A and B are shown apart, each in its own frame.
Chain A
Amino acid sequence: MKFLTIGAVALCVLYAAAAQAQLTRVDLQLVARVLGFLEKPLTGTVRLGIVYIPGDDQSVHEADSIMTLLGTGLSAGNLLFAPVRVRIDQAAAAQVDVFFLPEGLADHAKQISDVAKLRKIPCVTLDIAQVRNGICAIGVRVLPKIEIYVNRTAAEDDDTTFGSVFRMMITEF
């Protein structure tokens, strides 16, 4: 039993490490550049809300990793990301400009979708399935090739609209 516990913990650590490895500063720089192409482009200091589920160790760990990655801020394009940790159950009151959905929120992400729609706040993720499902408006992928995804319905709901030229160069759902 002891070995099983140790094994399970090790797997969790490895999984968390793998999840952390999936997100890099390059991913966030791409996110920043994409937000610069909004019809109402974000510039200057932008509060990036890192959403997590309290009590979910994996989610908390992932949020911590992203906060560490961003440090005191990450500059790209015309904006500076200032990270803010956001409890998913308190997202409606969070003082942020953009929601960032880490992977692994699963069905809980719907709460953010509702808040983003209500408060007209862009939602960004690396979890493309959440974009395809209309939970999050914008998805980005750096590897193996840079791809940008936008869910048109979610984007309209969030008032996250892009110019025609940009739309022609990305994948829309």
Chain B
Amino acid sequence: MPIGPWTTPVVRRRSHMRGPVPSRRLVGIASIPRLVLAVMALMLAARSPVTAQDIDYRGLEQMFGEPVTQSATGEPQRAGYAPVNMVIITQDDIRRSGATSIPDVLQFVAGVDVRTYGVADAEVGIRGYNQPYNPRLLVLVNGRQVYSDDYGHVSWFTIPVQMEEIRQIEVIKGPNSALYGFNAVSGVINIITYSPLYDSINTATLRGGTQNYAGGSAVTTARVGDKAGLRLSLGGLEASDFAPGNLTETDAANRRSPLIGTFNIDGRARITPNVELILEGSMADGRLAEKNLDGAFDTSYSRDNSLRAEITADTPIGVLKLNAYRNEELVSIGAATLANVTASVKEDVYVVQASDLVKLGADHTVRVGLEYRDNTATGGFVNGTIGYQVLAGSVMWDWRISPELSVTNALRVDNLRLRYSGTPVEGSGFTLADYNNAGFTVASFNSGLVFQPTHKDTFRLMAARGVQAPSLVDFGLQIPAGALGAAAVAGNPDVHPTLVYNLELDYDREIPAIGSTSRASVFYQRNEDLISEPFSSPPVVGTTGIPLLLASNVGHGDAMGAEFGVRGHSTTGVRWNLSYSFVVTVDSTTLNEGPVSTSPASYTDSVPRHVVVAGIGYTKDRLELDLMARWQSSYLDFQFAGTTLRPVEVPNYILLNGRIGYRLTDTFTVAATVRQFNISRLMQTAGPPVERSAIVSVNAHF
């Protein structure tokens, strides 16, 4: 796959959310794969020939000969002009990778760290600071957040998007809070789907393989002239999870094999030539084994629903956009060790965003934005309802000083107000008033200079300050002493946001002689006021004399690194990519200072310092062959060993994947993908060893 240089405060420790699994949910999960098959059958029976138009991502991409993006600044740009370090993974890249999930794709991007804890459990980090329930990464689907506000965590396998409907995955490395707000500190991953207004996608895929893997997906679009379009997609999978390896008996017993189904509907209409409306809804049911932030395993049962509406108008005063969405998540956790904790939670987040993007004169583009956010989490783990409201204002100014030089500056100010109704845990010392008077106002910025002295050379100099807000669990967890151990565990209304400063220089060079593009990047990052979720915090003595684990700011960390890469292709059908990334993280925190580890967040050691990614592929007529490789140096992970965390060194490893695809007819393609064909069982984390897998797929494209 030619992906080269460019292109949970404590658990989500949802482990405190155990409980019986509602039977209706299991029925829901089980019914979705059948639904997939039924829709596939319908699609096979009735083709819907729809002609795509030329005014959209695709049209612009074809015109400029390179991908386009809005993810860097909110302004539509050619990828090469974006003032960020961005890698764009195209649908062709995704298909050739043979990946069945987004983490599988990201595993071969330089600077991205993927930990595979199970068939349907992975954590993704960018440039260090990866950990279970990683709260530092903002993940979006068409601009809608798909991370949960409880831990700031992403459940990658229940994102309601099928691999075949993704136009491109945009990976931004480094903070981008000035555009997106909280969580966009390590980076941003924006998943862009095909638009039913402009694209015609009708496809169905069936997959089967080792680990008893059975899955499928279907995507269809339909249009009414050029005025309206509809995209429907659904998919599901069932598989047996990896053998437990050296997991404790409890962990092994807590894991159940994954069963996932997702559905999405996306309707778009051009109300007038200058006004477009989007209505989108999704649903995902998932049962999946996951590693919690404390290093233990459990099984999460979740249902995620979303609704989104967006209206855009091209007016004399600019492009006016109003975007509003609601995410709802219902989660319960199955784990025998959590018998004393209420193990279900309901979360809601409402977001309203308004913006005006206008080009002033020939050289200036300005974007002003307002955002309102309201989230809540209700459940026994917070002993009530915790939430916060955010009001934010932002401005972006892109000044094209000359055809060769442009400067972009963006500033955003967020005001967060916490609210809580419930009973603070005994011993924390906090009162209801402490929670309801808490909050902060914080500013973030992004500045980028892009200089293109020749058509082959691009330099980018970037400076940023990002903001990671405490999660709802950081603010409001309430576990009384005796429920999970001798200590009480509590959130902290006074915890500060983490501030992330980033300075980076990139150099891109086109090498037409070999059809390639290269990139070199160096960066330095400073993280102030790192947040420890409650379970990992150094124990203190509570007001009633009991031990207390309290979310807190635990110090600072520094990261520095470099990335070098080249990717290219020839007219003979050969493509290649090679990259090397290097990152060193040094933290100065109060975590794990005692004789026993309390936190899995040992930032200094928890990132592989050296990673090499390589790929080579070949297309000849109907045949596609691709080989992908990743080598990474050792790093430190943690395993929950009964009552304590045990540091586990994960040795350096090499991972080899391969895919062969053959287009039988214009409609049908068969493909076989073998992941990790070089070794049958590979220790990639402190979790169960990852097993070699082989997946065969049949795809029909109408």
Q: Evaluate contact between A164 and B455: CB separation under 8 angstroms.
A: no
Q: Identify which of B55, B78, B403 contacts A41 (C-beta below 8 A).
A: B55
A residues less than 8 Å from B319 (CB atoms): 164-165
Complexed CA–CA distance, A151 and B681 (Å): 62
Q: Evaluate contact between B455 and A169: CB separation under 8 angstroms.
A: no
Interface residue A44 (Cβ < 8 Å from any Cβ of B): no
Complexed CA–CA distance, A145 and B243 (Å): 53
B residues less than 8 Å from A145 (CB atoms): 455
Complexed CA–CA distance, A77 and B456 (Å): 27
- Min CB distance A131 to B, Å, is 12
Interface residues on A, range: 20 to 34
Q: Evaluate contact between B53 and A169: CB separation under 8 angstroms.
A: no
Interface residue B453 (Cβ < 8 Å from any Cβ of A): no
With contacts A30-B63, A33-B59, A165-B314 taken as known, whether A152 is within 8 angstroms of B362 at the C-beta atoms is yes
Interface residue A144 (Cβ < 8 Å from any Cβ of B): yes
A residues less than 8 Å from B244 (CB atoms): none
- Min CB distance A140 to B, Å, is 10
B residues less than 8 Å from A168 (CB atoms): 75-77, 357, 359, 365
Complexed CA–CA distance, A30 and B60 (Å): 11
Q: Evaluate contact between A146 and B64: CB separation under 8 angstroms.
A: yes
Complexed CA–CA distance, A145 and B358 (Å): 26
Complexed CA–CA distance, A172 and B400 (Å): 10
Complexed CA–CA distance, A132 and B319 (Å): 26
Q: Identify which of B55, B64, B358 contacts A36 (C-beta below 8 A).
A: B55
A residues less than 8 Å from B60 (CB atoms): 166, 169
Interface string of B76-105 (1 = CB under 8 A from A): 111000000000000000000000000000
Interface residue B415 (Cβ < 8 Å from any Cβ of A): no
Interface residue A34 (Cβ < 8 Å from any Cβ of B): yes
Q: Evaluate contact between A169 and B76: CB separation under 8 angstroms.
A: yes
Complexed CA–CA distance, A77 and B358 (Å): 27
Interface residue A167 (Cβ < 8 Å from any Cβ of B): yes
Q: Identify which of B53, B64, B358, B403 contacts A78 (C-beta below 8 A).
A: B53
Interface string of B333-368 (1 = CB under 8 A from A): 000000000000000000000000111001101000
Interface residue A24 (Cβ < 8 Å from any Cβ of B): no
Interface residue B68 (Cβ < 8 Å from any Cβ of A): yes
Interface residue B543 (Cβ < 8 Å from any Cβ of A): no
Interface residue A173 (Cβ < 8 Å from any Cβ of B): yes
Query: Count of B residues near A, CB < 8 Å?
Result: 29
Q: Identify which of B54, B273, B403, B455 contacts A33 (C-beta below 8 A).
A: B54
Q: Evaluate contact between A34 and B54: CB separation under 8 angstroms.
A: no
Q: Evaluate contact between A164 and B358: CB separation under 8 angstroms.
A: yes
Interface string of A4-21 (1 = CB under 8 A from B): 000000000000000000
Interface residue A89 (Cβ < 8 Å from any Cβ of B): no
- Min CB distance A173 to B, Å, is 6
Interface residue A45 (Cβ < 8 Å from any Cβ of B): no
Interface residue A163 (Cβ < 8 Å from any Cβ of B): yes
B residues less than 8 Å from A164 (CB atoms): 314, 318-319, 357-359
B residues less than 8 Å from A30 (CB atoms): 63
A residues less than 8 Å from B358 (CB atoms): 164
Q: Identify which of B62, B318, B362, B456 contacts A173 (C-beta below 8 A).
A: B362
Complexed CA–CA distance, A33 and B55 (Å): 9
Interface-centre pick from B64, B274, B456 (highest chain A CB count, 10 A): B64
Complexed CA–CA distance, A169 and B65 (Å): 13
Q: Identify which of A41, A77, A147, A165 contacts B76 (C-beta below 8 A).
A: A165
A residues less than 8 Å from B76 (CB atoms): 165, 168-169
Q: Evaluate contact between A163 and B314: CB separation under 8 angstroms.
A: yes
Q: Which residues of chain B (240-276) have a CB below 8 Å from chain A?
A: 273-274
B residues less than 8 Å from A165 (CB atoms): 76, 314, 319
Q: Evaluate contact between A169 and B68: CB separation under 8 angstroms.
A: yes
- Min CB distance A57 to B, Å, is 33
Q: Evaluate contact between B62 and A33: CB separation under 8 angstroms.
A: yes
Complexed CA–CA distance, A144 and B452 (Å): 13
B residues less than 8 Å from A173 (CB atoms): 362
Interface-centre pick from B54, B319, B357 (highest chain A CB count, 10 A): B54
- Min CB distance A133 to B, Å, is 15
Q: Closest B residue to A142 by CB, please name it.
A: B65
Q: Closest B residue to A37 by CB, please name it.
A: B55
Interface residue A171 (Cβ < 8 Å from any Cβ of B): yes
A residues less than 8 Å from B362 (CB atoms): 152, 171-173
Interface residue A156 (Cβ < 8 Å from any Cβ of B): no
A residues less than 8 Å from B75 (CB atoms): 168
Complexed CA–CA distance, A152 and B365 (Å): 15
A residues less than 8 Å from B274 (CB atoms): 163
Complexed CA–CA distance, A42 and B139 (Å): 38
Complexed CA–CA distance, A41 and B357 (Å): 22
- Min CB distance A24 to B, Å, is 14
- Min CB distance B35 to A, Å, is 37
Q: Evaluate contact between A171 and B65: CB separation under 8 angstroms.
A: no
With contacts A36-B55, A169-B76, A169-B78 taken as known, whether A146 is within 8 angstroms of B359 at the C-beta atoms is no
Complexed CA–CA distance, A166 and B250 (Å): 58
Interface string of A72-90 (1 = CB under 8 A from B): 0000011000000000000
Q: Identify which of B62, B64, B273, B357 contacts A169 (C-beta below 8 A).
A: B64
Q: Closest A residue to B363 by CB, please name it.
A: A172
Complexed CA–CA distance, A39 and B272 (Å): 12
- Min CB distance A23 to B, Å, is 18
Complexed CA–CA distance, A169 and B357 (Å): 13
The chain B residues found within 8 Å of chain A, CB to CB, are: 53-55, 59-60, 62-65, 68, 75-78, 273-274, 314, 318-319, 357-359, 362-363, 365, 400, 403, 455-456
Offer 26 A-B interface pairs, CB within 8 angstroms, sorted by A. A30-B63, A33-B54, A33-B63, A36-B54, A36-B55, A36-B59, A37-B63, A41-B55, A77-B59, A144-B456, A146-B65, A148-B63, A152-B362, A163-B274, A163-B314, A164-B314, A164-B357, A166-B60, A168-B75, A168-B77, A168-B359, A171-B362, A171-B403, A172-B359, A172-B362, A173-B362
